[in-house]
Amino acid sequence: MKRQMIMEMNPQAILLDSSFDNAIIGVGSNAVGDIVAVYSHKECIDIISSDGVELDDAVLLMNVFKDSSIGKYSPVFLTEMWEIA
């Protein structure tokens, strides 16, 4: 449902594989006002880890997602303040 809503708002929005749909927490807008998907950083790591990947490896993989998430319609990965401390 969230995926469909985002695609209706911006058909060009880039989304992760559907296995990450539970990590979608909303939408945001890029610098020029285009709607993009917003994913929970922690939930993405939890999803990767649930497939049997060690936590350190899941964090590394998530960093690859973030580092390669460039472009006008790329998703944003939200890290909540409590996760930093």
Which pTM was predicted?
A: 0.88
Number of domains comprising the chain:
1
Burial group, residue 21, by CB count within 10 angstroms (0-12, 13-18, 19+): middle
- Domain membership of residue 28 (yes or no) is yes
Q: What's the pLDDT score for residue 9?
A: 95
For residue 85, being part of any structural domain is answered with no
Q: Does the residue 84 lie in any domain?
A: no
Band the pLDDT of 3: cuts 50, 70, 90: very high
32-53 pLDDT, tens digit per residue, is 899 999 999 999 999 999 988 9
Structural domain that includes position 47: 2-79
Furthest CA-CA distance within the chain: 39
